Amino acid sequence: MSEDDRVVRGRRWVAAPPEAIFELLADPASHHVFDGSGSVRGSADERPERLRLGSTFRMRMRIGLPYRISNRVVEFEEARSIAWRHVGGHVWRFVLEPDEGGTWVTEEFDWRPARSALLLRLLRAPTRNRESIEATLDRLAAHMTGDDAGPPRT
């Protein structure tokens, strides 16, 4: 398996400026709004701060059973890119590219730095996350344009 095979990505044009999209991504209290996996329930922090490089934030999650997970922002370029990772080591990344009338949004599940690539493969995480990324991009685009995104696909 090549290094490139260990980055799952989706790309979507969104009719919104990158600054507005970035504000949503940098607010952990809003992550459940655009999550397409159906696992993000909300922020576990009472008053989450706007994310910046090095920020840690906790999320309420549910995959089968409810749990909480801590994340650290590992990449941050205002209105261009943001990425975070948790104890599993893999990285969730959003890259924003301004385009006339909107923004190209790329979401990536980068499992190259994962602590257990074998476990991720056994759990079919790359395949499931590819589907979740597409749903996330749909929900993000719908939220930014005011359309109803509907329930997340699981």
Which residue spans within 40-101 are E strands per DSSP? 40-43, 56-63, 65-77, 81-85, 91-99
Instruction: Answer whether 31's CB lies under 8 Å from 40's CB.
Output: yes
- Per residue in 8-58, pLDDT tens? 999 999 999 999 999 999 999 999 999 999 999 999 988 788 999 999 999
- Per residue in 74-104, pLDDT tens? 999 999 999 999 989 999 999 999 999 999 9
Predicted model pTM: 0.89
What is the CATH T-level fold of the domain 3-145, as seen in this structure? Alpha-D-Glucose-1,6-Bisphosphate; Chain A, domain 4 (3.30.530)
pLDDT band at 5 (very low <50, low <70, confident <90, very high): confident
Q: What is the dihedral of CA 82, 86, 92, 96, to 10 degrees?
A: -10
In the predicted model, is pLDDT for residue 152 greater than 50?
no
Q: Where are the domains of the chain?
A: 3-145
